[in-house]
Amino acid sequence: AQSVTQLGSHVSVSEGALVLLRCNYSSSVPPYLFWYVQYPNQGLQLLLKYTTGATLVKGINGFEAEFKKSETSFHLTKPSAHMSDAAEYFCAVVMEAQKLVFGQGTRLTINP
C-alpha cells in the first residue's frame, strides 16, 4: 500500500534562507507525487507534481522538487524563503482510482 512520511512537522527558516521540506513515499508501483500548500482556513493548492519524465519538477512560487527513486524521496525546496511562504505543506501520493494519500504535513514558519 502507498504511504507518505514527511520528516519534521515544523520547519522554521529565516527570510532569504533555503527551504527544504522532506517527503519519503512507499509505493509498489511507479508513483505519481504531489506537493500541496494550505494557508490558514483554506483548501489545498497544488504547488507541483511528478508523473513521468524529468525528475526535477518546477512548480509555482519558485518551489521545485526532485523525484529520487533510489531514495524513495520527493523533497521540496526553494532557494530563498519569502514571508508569504509561511503555510502548511503536504506531500501526497496517488493510489488507485486517483485517491490521494497525504503525509501529516509540515508547518513552515519564516522568521524576519
- Per CB under 8 A, residues contacting other proteins are 4, 9, 32, 34, 36, 41-46, 49, 51, 90, 92, 94, 97-105
By beta-carbon proximity to other proteins, the closer residue of 4 and 19 is 4
The CB-of-32 to other proteins minimum distance in angstroms stands at 5
Please give the Cα distance from 13 to 82 (Å, whole number): 10
Could you give the C-alpha distances from 1 to 13, 26, 61, 92, 101, in angstroms and in order?
33, 7, 32, 13, 10
By beta-carbon proximity to other proteins, the closer residue of 19 and 93 is 93
The CB-of-96 to other proteins minimum distance in angstroms stands at 9
By beta-carbon proximity to other proteins, the closer residue of 8 and 79 is 8
Residues 6+ apart with CB under 8 A from 41: none
Report whether 88 contacts 44 (CB < 8 A): no
By beta-carbon proximity to other proteins, the closer residue of 4 and 76 is 4
The CB-of-16 to other proteins minimum distance in angstroms stands at 28
The CB-of-101 to other proteins minimum distance in angstroms stands at 7
Distance from CA of residue 29 to its chain's centroid? Answer: 19
Going 19 to 7 to 9 to 26, the CA torsion angle's sign is positive
